Amino acid sequence: MAFELPPLPYDYAALEPTIDEATMKLHHDKHHAAYVANLNGAVDKHPDLGKKTPEELLQNLDSVPEDVRAVVRNNGGGHVNHTMFWQIMKPKGGGTPTGDIGSQIDTDFGSFEDFKKKFNEAAAKQFGSGWGWLVYKGGKLEIITTPNQDNPLSQGLFPILGNDVWEHAYYLKYNNRRPEYLAAWWDVVNWDEVNKRFTQAKK
Ligand code: MN
């Protein structure tokens, strides 16, 4: 297989009570696994695609053969988005952001509280399934949202942090209360990993 499902970097129950064990099992073992399987299905038809990283595929969707372009966009996106998502969370995470990303958030949004409010509002408003993102554009942090599994890489932007607002990410525990999930999610953010991604975004 060209692409593989990465193991979850902690136990399914490790993010309790913020994210419940049942949600993590389904989200990783079923949803993420399906994106990887579907992406590999596209590689079966066009083996050259397997020579690229999934990030490279998303950065150059125009170069992906038309008959599998939507499959790669949706499932390559699903794979890359979720691989990041597991990494930017950790048990006993949260707190005030540290390091360079902490100071950049203060510079560009005034304070961490103001940033969270703005991010949560944007992600709450994303109609239907999608993601809320923090990206770095023209020397400044910016909050954007995308529908479905679209990744900022396809717009030439590097995702520093992203939260999944598909119902599968929160419905078992929070039901239709997306804003409650968004508010709670910051308790599991891994700011060390987000700082690494910010360094990469600045390159
Ligand atoms: Mn998801």
Q: Quote the ligand 1 centre to 164 CA distance (angstroms).
A: 6
Interior angle at CA 42, CA 81 and CA 30, nearest 5: 50
Ligand 1 center–CA 142 separation, angstroms: 22
Write the burial class of residue 137 (CB in 10 Å: 0-12 exposed, 13-18 middle, 19+ buried): middle
Q: How far is the CA of 27 from the centre of ligand 1 (A)?
A: 6
What whole-number percentage of the chain has pLDDT above 90? Answer: 99
The topology under which CATH files domain 99-202 is: minor pseudopilin epsh fold (3.55.40)
> For all residues of the chain together, what is the average pLDDT?
97
User: pTM for the whole thing?
Assistant: 0.97
Res. 5 pLDDT band, cuts 50 70 90: very high
**Interval between CA 62 and ligand 1 midpoint (Å):** 25
Which residue reads 């579907």 in tokens? 38
Taking each helix axis from N to C terminus, what angle separates 33-45 and 77-87, rounded to the nearest 10 degrees? 140
CATH (residue range 21-87):
1.10.287.990
Residue ranges covered by each domain of the chain: 21-87, 99-202
Q: What is the pLDDT of residues 23-80, one digit of tens each?
A: 999 999 999 999 999 999 999 999 999 999 999 999 999 999 999 999 999 999 999 9
Q: Is 122 exposed, middle or buried (0-12, 13-18, 19+ CB in 10 A)?
A: middle
Q: Which residues crowd ion ligand 1, with CB under 5 Å?
A: 164, 166, 169
